[in-house]
Amino acid sequence: MSVLADTMASGRGAGAHRPWLAVLHDWVVTVDHKRLGVMYVVSGLVFLAVAGLEASAMRVQLAWSGLHIVPPATFNQLFTMHGTTMVFLVGIPIVFGFANYLVPLMIGARDLAFPRLNAFGFWAFLFGGLLLYFSVLGGEGLYGGGSAPAVGWFAYAPLTGRAFSPGNSTDYWNLSILVMGFGTVATSINLIVTTLVMRCPGMTLGRLPVYVWMMLVVSGMTVIALPPLSAAQIMLLLDRFLGAHFFDTQAGGSAVMWQHFFWFFGHPEVYILMVPGFAFVSEIIPVFSRKVIFGYPMVVAASMAIGLLSMSVWAHHMFAVGMGAPLNAAFAASTMLIAVPTGIKIFNWVATMYGGRIRFATPMLFACAFIFQFLCAGLTGIMLAVVPFNWQVTDSYFVVAHFHYVLVGSLVFTIFGAIYYWFPKVTGRLLSERLGRWHFWLFVVGFNVTFLPMHWLGMMGMPRRIYTYPADRGWDFWNLVASLGVLFQGAAILVFLVNVVLALRRGERAGNDPWDAWTLEWSTGSPPPPYNFETVPAVGSRRPLWDLKHPDDPDGPHE
């Protein structure tokens, strides 16, 4: 039994009972990609709960017009911390945590290319996250008991300048993300090198699992798109501490330049978050439809196209800034264009399901909900690319609805699907299907009840980032509905937590391959031994385990 299994089962006394300090020490000094992956995901889920509570507080305040439950200063901190936490402390770590765990296993490697750099990446993330939340204690500096940043997760200038954000709250936002950024770039380089150099014999690039291809694209995007954010943040640091004028409009600086730099990072960032979600379902849907993914080359090509095109659309976040008609039109064009490869992927997934024998285990439930919700998200995205419509609904609840359909309705749903799918591999235990169904249905209902009405609220004129609204706008009813959805989502998360705890304690033991899947991680133990594979595997197609299970009809000749 692996040490990991020992640790997981330590509560039951299985295996040698080691002192908890020794166990903790093992986890703190680890450079094993599997452990680091687990640490990333667990930390991300903890921050998910925190950010969820922040959102819940906001929804309580907004449930009706004119409420005084949360004061304005606190509300502004809540939406800043909620957005920052969700993007940088939930999305990124979970997505890269899964990649950490899965990529070496899927390519038959023993670990990532640079195990110590991997550990650095995790600790940089954790330190950054703790630094951000330390702002709650230390942010106000001389003046008060502390405060979190309140400038929004994209921190537009000149609101973030010394003149308009005194104290140190904004500096916590700035520095924590800067530190985390270095870790993320390091992990991305690590993943790229691993994928290009450490594949097992027979695994050509054309035989990479779709998941690995997509994580390769994501890592490439990160290496190029994250440094611009770091650069902008260094500039903001210089402005705030050394009196520089990068974004100081009083000295001739440009507030719009911050937006260009930020969104040049920010748009690829949302694809960096979302493409791993695509990667999850690209593994889950084929297995539970019992069919090979339809159009592998096209799926891979579409992912690369998305990676490339995502670098060209950033100013669609800035249609209302006054860039002028030619630039507005150009960015509308590129934004609409990126819908094409994205749509192609949806079609490929549906085509995979078509003609299959679909088994609706919990991972597949989440993947199916993803299809519908991502379709909504993508279509509202196309609507937002229509510039005059964008002029009406940007910075309104319509856009809030859109990106929550992307990040919750699509990304979080696929993350849950991935957790249910790979939990048996990581822990050796199966999660309960019954509890999984409860989790799924509560979450689907709660999510849609909260976010669907927001499309309408935006079109009825409700802007975003307001801590209250007048009674005569007619927004009360749908805000109340949206707030009630939170109860279902909260219940869903609780059910999920119960499921995890029960499974760890007395879940049914999973074998190597509980789902009858086809990629290499299912060929080794659950959980895998520290060295991953007893003998280095050799593959002859994209689905090595299919070939083993169907020696009469291997994949190779068809590819």
Q: Which of 408, 314, 419 is nearest to 369 (CA)?
A: 408
Q: Cα–Cα–Cα angle for 348, 354, 355, nearest 5°?
A: 135
Q: Minimum Å distance from CB 33 to other proteins?
A: 14
Instruction: Tell me 547's DSSP state.
Output: H
527 cis-preceded (ω within 30 degrees of 0): yes
**Do residues 159 and 139 lie in contact, with contact meaning Cβ atoms separated by under 8 Å?**
no
Regarding 434 and contact with other proteins (CB under 8 A), the answer is no
Regarding 401 and contact with other proteins (CB under 8 A), the answer is no
Regarding 358 and contact with other proteins (CB under 8 A), the answer is yes
SS (H, E, C) 314-347: HHHHCCCCCCCHHHHHHHHHHHHHHHHHHHHHHH
Per CB under 8 A, the list member of 7, 176, 390, 427 interacting with other proteins is: 390
Q: Minimum Å distance from CB 404 to other proteins?
A: 15
- Give the per-residue contact string, 121-160, with other proteins (x = CB under 8 A; - = no): -----------------------------xxx---x-xx-
Regarding 359 and contact with other proteins (CB under 8 A), the answer is yes
With respect to other proteins, which residue has the nearer C-beta, 161 or 528?
161
Per CB under 8 A, the list member of 20, 71, 501, 508 interacting with other proteins is: 71
CA distances from 368 to 75, 159, 346, 444 (A): 35, 42, 11, 11
Cβ of 140: how many Cβ atoms within 10 Å? 16
Regarding 477 and contact with other proteins (CB under 8 A), the answer is no
For 342-347, the CB contacts below 8 A with 24+ separation are 342/302, 342/306, 342/378, 343/378, 344/298, 344/299, 344/302, 345/278, 345/299, 345/302, 345/303, 346/371, 346/374, 346/375, 346/378
Regarding 468 and contact with other proteins (CB under 8 A), the answer is yes
With respect to other proteins, which residue has the nearer C-beta, 465 or 505?
465
CA distances from 462 to 41, 309, 469, 470 (A): 35, 31, 8, 10
Q: Minimum Å distance from CB 449 to other proteins?
A: 9
Distance CA 178, CA 181 (A): 5
Distance CA 43, CA 97 (A): 10
With respect to other proteins, which residue has the nearer C-beta, 45 or 274?
274
User: Which range of residues in 236-244, 401-409, 427-435, 500-508 is near other proteins by CB under 8 A?
Assistant: 236-244
Per CB under 8 A, the list member of 16, 21, 22, 242 interacting with other proteins is: 242
Question: Taking CB under 8 A as the criterion, which residues in 78-97 touch other proteins?
Answer: none
With respect to other proteins, which residue has the nearer C-beta, 159 or 270?
159
Per CB under 8 A, the list member of 395, 480, 490, 512 interacting with other proteins is: 395
Regarding 336 and contact with other proteins (CB under 8 A), the answer is yes
Question: Taking CB under 8 A as the criterion, which residues in 187-226 touch other proteins?
Answer: 188-190, 192-193, 196-198, 223-226
With respect to other proteins, which residue has the nearer C-beta, 533 or 546?
546
Per CB under 8 A, the list member of 20, 143, 391, 531 interacting with other proteins is: 391
- Give the per-residue contact string, 538-557, with other proteins (x = CB under 8 A; - = no): ------------x--x-x--
Regarding 63 and contact with other proteins (CB under 8 A), the answer is no
Regarding 383 and contact with other proteins (CB under 8 A), the answer is yes
Q: Minimum Å distance from CB 122 to other proteins?
A: 17
**Residues contacting other proteins: total by CB under 8 A:** 135
SS (H, E, C) 472-510: HHCCHHHHHHHHHHHHHHHHHHHHHHHHHHHHHHHCCEC
Both tokens of 72, joined, read 């304005």
With respect to other proteins, which residue has the nearer C-beta, 333 or 494?
333
Per DSSP, the three-state class of 321 is: coil
Q: Which of 450, 451, 443, 376 is nearest to 412 (CA)?
A: 443
